[in-house]
C-alpha cells in the first residue's frame, strides 16, 4: 500500500486537510499504523491551479521528508514530483522513491534517480503537459490506449535503466485519468493483465479518480466502493502497488482478491477442520 499524503492546500480529495505540516505528519502516523509500507508525499496537486515553482515545491516537501525519515527510519518514502531539481533535494533529505506522475516531462529525473539509487515510478500520460487536463485525446492503431501505455512506460523504464537506475527499482503505472478519458481508463483497468505481462511491476493509482466518478455518477467523497471495485480487477490482474487514500479498505480488498487468486493464504482457516 502506498498511502497519499498531500502537502497542498487544494488537493481534490482531502481539500487541504494535511496542508499544515503537523496535520500531514499525523496522517503519516495514521497510515503507518494502518500498515502502509510506502507514503507518497506530494507538494503540488495534479489539476490546473496556482503556479507552483520548484522553490515553493521544495519548501513544501523537503524538510517534511527529512522529518518523516527521522521518525520512521525503515519507512519507504516516495515523493510525487516530475522535476529533477525537486527530486534531487528530496532524495538528499531521505526519499527512496520518485513518483513521476507526468511521464518523464523532465528528462533529467532519471539521472537523479540513478545518482541517489532511488526507485522511479514510470507513468503514461499521453504526452500531456504537467498540470493540464486532457482534451479529446485519441489513441490509434492496434491496442489503442493499452498499447500506448505499455510502449511509453516500458520505454521510460528502459531509459531509466540505461541511465543507471537499478531494474528492481523501476515500476510502471498506466496513470488512470492522466492523458485519458473515462473510456480509456476503463479499458486500461479491464486489460491491466497486458501491462503486468511485460514483467515490470505495475502500480495503479485508482483512488477516487474521475473515471470512477463519471462511471457511477458520483462526487469525490462518494467513490470508495467504485474505487474498490476497480482495485479488485487490478488486483486479480496482478498489480503490485496501490496508491490510495483509504489504506484499510484497500488492504482488505487486495488481500481477499489475492487469496482468491491463490497468491496469499488465509490468515486463519479452521472451518471444517475442527
With cell 485525446, the residue in question is 137
State the CB neighbour count (10 A cutoff) for residue 236. 16
| Residue 189: strand, helix, or coil | helix
| Superfamily classification of domain 2-260 | Dihydropteroate synthase-like (3.20.20.20)
The per-residue pLDDT for 216 is 98
Confidence at residue 167, expressed as pLDDT on a 0 to 100 scale: 98
What pLDDT does 210 receive?
97
- Burial level of 218, CB count in 10 A (0-12/13-18/19+)? middle
User: What is residue 52's DSSP assignment?
Assistant: -
Predicted pLDDT of residue 35: 97
pLDDT at 11 (0 to 100): 85
Q: Which residues of the chain register pLDDT less than 70?
A: 142
Q: What is the pLDDT of residue 142?
A: 63
CA distance 54 to 174: 26
pLDDT score of 99: 98
Domain spans of the chain, in order of start: 2-260
Question: What's the pLDDT at 132?
Answer: 92
Rounded distance between C-alpha atoms, residue 101 and residue 41, angstroms: 12
CA–chain centroid gap for 141, Å, is: 27
pTM higher than 0.75: yes
Under 8 Å between Cβ of 180 and 173? no
What is each CA distance from 131 to 51, 101, 102, 116, 147, in whole angstroms?
9, 10, 8, 26, 24
Grid-cell match 457511477, residue found: 216
Instruction: Give the per-residue pLDDT at 148.
Output: 97
Amino acid at each position: 500500500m502506498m498511502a497519499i499524503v498531500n502537502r497542498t492546500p487544494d488537493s481534490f480529495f482531502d481539500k487541504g486537510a494535511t496542508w499544515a505540516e503537523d496535520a500531514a505528519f499525523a496522517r503519516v502516523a495514521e497510515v503507518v499504523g494502518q500498515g502502509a509500507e510506502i507514503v507518497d508525499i506530494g507538494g503540488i496537486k495534479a489539476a490546473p491551479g496556482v503556479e507552483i515553482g520548484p522553490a515553493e515545491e521544495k519548501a513544501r516537501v523537503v524538510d517534511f521528508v527529512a522529518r518523516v525519515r527521522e521518525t520512521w527510519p525503515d519507512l519507504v518514502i516516495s515523493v510525487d514530483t516530475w522535476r529533477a531539481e525537486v527530486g534531487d533535494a528530496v532524495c538528499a533529505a531521505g526519499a527512496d522513491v520518485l513518483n513521476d506522475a507526468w511521464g518523464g516531462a523532465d528528462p533529467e529525473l532519471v539521472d537523479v534517480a540513478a545518482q541517489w539509487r532511488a526507485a522511479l515510478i514510470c507513468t503514461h500520460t499521453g504526452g500531456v503537459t504537467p498540470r493540464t487536463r486532457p482534451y479529446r485525446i485519441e489513441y490509434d492503431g492496434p491496442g489503442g490506449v493499452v498499447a500506448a501505455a505499455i510502449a511509453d512506460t516500458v520505454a521510460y523504464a528502459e531509459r531509466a535503466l540505461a541511465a543507471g537506475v537499478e531494474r528492481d527499482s523501476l515500476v510502471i503505472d498506466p496513470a488512470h485519468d492522466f492523458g485519458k478519458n473515462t473510456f480509456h481508463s476503463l479499458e486500461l483497468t479491464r486489460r491491466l493483465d497486458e501491462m503486468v505481462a511485460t514483467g515490470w511491476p505495475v502500480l495503479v493509482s485508482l483512488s477516487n479518480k474521475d473515471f470512477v466518478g463519471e462511471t457511477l455518477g458520483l462526487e469525490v467523497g462518494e467513490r470508495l466502493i467504485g474505487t474498490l471495485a476497480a482495485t479488485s480487477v487490478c488486483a486479480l490482474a496482478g498489480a503490485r502497488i496501490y496508491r490510495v487514500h483509504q489504506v484499510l479498505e484497500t488492504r482488505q480488498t487486495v488481500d481477499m482478491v489475492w487469496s482468491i487468486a491463490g497468491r496469499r493464504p488465509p490468515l486463519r482457516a479452521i472451518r471444517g477442520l475442527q
